[in-house]
Amino acid sequence: MSRPGALDGAVAGAVGTVALNLVTYLDMVLRARPASSTPEESARRLARVAHIDLGPEDRAANRRSGLGALIGYATGIAGATAYAALAGRRRVPLPLAAAALGAGVMAMADGSLAALRVSDPRRWSRSDWLSDVVPHLAYGTAAAATLGRLRPPDSRR
């Protein structure tokens, strides 16, 4: 009897996060837009809330940059791990699983931005939303497809 567990969800989340990053970087190349400052600002605010000194500013900036990226991976991995646990042995159709995974991780990410007062999604433009939705759809599709490949064809085994 095999079922998607934490490891399957973590692998699917990592693959989804790579897809999200690829789409985001491609968007930056195509539209010549700058990188978002929200990951680093989230890291700054989390460090402040946790009373963690990141060191002198020149080193703290580098740490915030690394922490911002790690927070993104942690969010993507945690989202797919939670989804795999909730889905259990059920094989959810790919479009539905992709939408659920993408929307779930997008809600986690955007909710944390709002909670930390880094950004207010209620004030985003259409372009801002597209820059957020499209990569999260790529995340959901890649994570769902990976999770589907990690499950046995007959989940009743």
Range 79-86 average pLDDT: 95
- In this structure, what token pair is assigned to residue 13? 């989340």
- At 145, list the tokens: 């497809």
pLDDT bin (cut points 50, 70, 90) of residue 5 is confident
Please check whether residue 94 is in contact with residue 140, taking contact to mean a CB–CB distance below 8 angstroms. no
Q: State the pLDDT at residue 88.
A: 85
Angle between helix 6-31 and 126-150 (nearest 10): 140
What does the domain layout of the chain look like in residue ranges?
Answer: 6-33+73-150
- Give the integer Cα–Cα distance in Å for 62 and 112: 21
> How confident is residue 157, by pLDDT bands cut at 50, 70 and 90?
very low
Does 123 score more than 60 pLDDT?
A: yes
Kindly state the average pLDDT of the residues 14-24: 98
Render pLDDT for 37-53 as a digit per residue (tens, 0 to 9): 999 999 999 999 999 99
Helix, coil or strand: residue 155: coil
The model's pTM: 0.91
Range 92-99 average pLDDT: 96
How would residue 152 be classed by pLDDT, with cut points 50, 70 and 90? low
Confidence of residue 1 (pLDDT cuts 50, 70, 90): very low
* Two tokens, residue 111: 């909710």
**Is the distance from CB of 102 to CB of 78 less than 8 angstroms?**
no
> Over the stretch 51-80, which tens digit does the pLDDT of each residue have?
999 999 999 999 999 999 999 999 999 999
